[in-house]
Amino acid sequence: MIERLVPAKNGYTVYVGDTALHSRYNPRLEAEKYAASLELEKSCRYFILMEPGLDYLGSVLRRRFPRAAVITLHCSAFFADKKLRPLCGGEAEDGSPGLSWNPLCGEGLESFLERTVAADARTIRLVEWRPSVHAYGKAYLDLAGRTVECIRRINAGSVTVRNFGRRWLKNALRNLPLFLYPVKVRRGTGAVVVCAAGPSLEESLDLIIRWRASSPPPPVIAVSSAVPALLHRGIAPDLVIATDGGGWALFHLYGSFRSDKNGAQFVLTAGLTAALPSQTERLRVLILSDGTLWQELLLGSHPFLRLPQRGTVSASALDLALFLSTGNVYLAGLDLTHRDLRTHARPYTFETAMDRSSCRFKPFHSRAFEREGIIRSSGSQDIYAAWFRTYLDSFPKRIFTLGGGRDLGIPPCPGVPAMAETGGKPPVFLPVPAAGTEPRRGVPVLLEALDNPRLGARLSKELGELLIPGVPPESGGFSGALRNELLDLR
């Protein structure tokens, strides 16, 4: 495929083989007419242009929608040329980098979109440039498919923010006094096992037990819902990770405390916004922040690890493992699918609760069938499976699976002998001096930061999405409403 830049009567055009991406006579007028034909809504906050070639269409949209972000996605490395950046959306009029992605920019498409787009699907408009469909064929369709899948995931995350934002903030304020024994990490170099709670975890436990009998044993990171299944087989996890902010997440941790005959010796890796029980105050805690300003203001002098918010604790557990060690990571129970009525490895806290409350009018298997159907119909497993496939492509030689229920493109573990990686060192968790763990003042810290000229705008945007979603920060009365919402949390 040969591409070339050719002067046009009123600008330039690009030829892909014999196909012109823009008019040879007046490409600017062509873009104006195309934008007018789209009937775009003023409520759009993001326009994502699919391989628009040169920036004629982007210029029109920026002029017509000055408050919206115009994002350009290129499927061809041709537009990565520095000389073309001002012409194809890679450089703003003031010379600053534009919101543009191409295959050679050094950042994955999904990572770029997650960084630049933060809204629900109703405010995002994908705009195709039709000549590029014919010119680039499969490359264009692949780009479009990946973009749509990523927007689905971003939209799911924004819905979660709207529904749980206030609860997350309340959890954060409630959790701060519980972090009495925070730790920081010295990274290791050996293998790490990550245990999710899929049904296949049960089949991997014998393998993990044999491996743990080796010297030195690999550290085990477990999502909180997988802990009862591990403890049932005598496997005490080294780290338990909890990031879910819903009250139901407490059941998993309660089950962990009740089942742990060793008095909960694990390190709890806890998101600041997670739902945590009062027993947290006696645990060593590795605190997670998602990088938002409001979380880091509340944490103050507390040590913390910055990990992106993924929406599923299994993804956060994988991020944690990749940070804790430079060695290989072995995944168990990462199914993202069900086995008939079995949604998780057994024993599973919710199933125990359902069994105890079952009666002849609501028998256990009927309730399990209903719950499995609700989870399956939500589509969340398909969204996360697509994310895992893309994300895991970045680590082709470092991540292996011990078994699972869905093909995510992860190579299987090469066998028990190869798993005995004796040369690496495990991560070390170092206690933080008491002087570094004084609790912050909570809401007053946020109110004070809102008056700070350097922090106020960013903080208002973050807190507004949590407490008054759907209200733009530039609207009248926004500041007063936000402060009243914060005062109500005290």
Per-position DSSP letters for 86-148, written without gaps between them: GGTTSB-TTSSBPSEE-TTSSS-HHHHHHHH--S-GGGEEEEE-HHHHHHHTHHHHHHHHHHH
Ordered by start, the domain boundaries in the chain are 3-157, 179-436, 441-488
Beta bridge partners of 329: 192, 399
For residues 432 and 303, the answer to whether their CB atoms sit within 8 Å is yes
- Note the pLDDT of residue 355: 58
Give the other-Cβ count within 10 Å of 337's Cβ: 16
Q: How far is the first Cα of the chain from the last one, in angstroms, to the nearest whole number? A: 62
For residues 191 and 216, the answer to whether their CB atoms sit within 8 Å is no
- Note the pLDDT of residue 187: 94
406-422: buried (b, 16+ CB within 10 Å) or exposed (e) per residue? bebebeebeeeeebbbe
Nearest Cα neighbor of 162 from 463, 465, 479 is 465
> 181-186 and 124-128: which strand pairing?
unpaired
Give the other-Cβ count within 10 Å of 376's Cβ: 14
> Residues near 360 by Cβ (< 8 Å), separated by ≥ 6?
none
For residues 411 and 401, the answer to whether their CB atoms sit within 8 Å is yes
- Note the pLDDT of residue 369: 62
- Is the link from the previous residue into 27 a cis peptide, with omega within 30 of 0? no
Helix, strand, coil % over all residues of the chain, rounded to 5: 45, 15, 40
- Note the pLDDT of residue 115: 83
The CA-CA-CA angle for residues 478, 480, 485, to 5°, reads 95
Q: Where are the alpha helices (DSSP H) in 137-248?
A: 138-175, 201-212, 227-232
> Residues near 384 by Cβ (< 8 Å), separated by ≥ 6?
153, 311, 312, 314, 315, 336
- Note the pLDDT of residue 271: 94
- Note the pLDDT of residue 95: 60
C-alpha to C-alpha distance for 245 and 288, rounded to whole angstroms? 13
C-alpha to C-alpha distance for 273 and 245, rounded to whole angstroms? 6
> 428-431 and 181-186: which strand pairing?
antiparallel
Residue reference for tokens 């789209």: 38
Q: Which amino acid is at 222?
A: A
C-alpha to C-alpha distance for 100 and 114, rounded to whole angstroms? 13
Q: How many CA atoms lie within 13 A of 211 on its CB side?
A: 23
For residues 285 and 270, the answer to whether their CB atoms sit within 8 Å is yes
Per-position DSSP letters for 43-91, written without gaps between them: T--EEEEES-SSTHHHHHHHHH-TTSEEEEE-SSGGGG-GGGGGGTTSB
Nearest Cα neighbor of 75 from 57, 95, 53, 58 is 53
For residues 287 and 270, the answer to whether their CB atoms sit within 8 Å is yes
Task: Give the sign of the dihedral formed by CA 302, CA 303, CA 309, CA 312.
Answer: negative
- Note the pLDDT of residue 447: 93
- Note the pLDDT of residue 216: 76
Look over the chain and give the mean of its residue pLDDT values, rounded to a whole number: 83
| Rg of the Cα atoms in the chain | 25
For residues 182 and 286, the answer to whether their CB atoms sit within 8 Å is yes
Please give the chain's pLDDT, 490 residues, in tens: 688 888 888 788 999 998 999 998 899 999 999 999 988 887 788 999 999 999 999 999 999 998 889 999 999 989 888 888 888 876 666 666 778 999 988 888 888 888 888 766 678 899 999 899 989 999 999 899 888 888 887 777 676 777 788 899 999 999 999 999 999 999 999 999 999 988 889 889 998 998 888 767 889 999 999 998 998 898 999 999 999 888 777 888 886 776 555 445 789 999 999 999 998 998 999 999 999 999 999 998 899 999 988 878 998 999 999 999 999 999 999 887 777 767 778 887 766 666 566 777 778 667 666 666 666 665 666 767 777 777 777 776 788 888 776 777 787 776 654 454 556 788 999 998 754 444 457 899 999 999 999 999 999 988 998 898 877 777 778 899 999 999 888 7
Q: Which amino acid is at 325?
A: S
C-alpha to C-alpha distance for 377 and 373, rounded to whole angstroms? 6
- Note the pLDDT of residue 54: 93
Give the other-Cβ count within 10 Å of 399's Cβ: 21
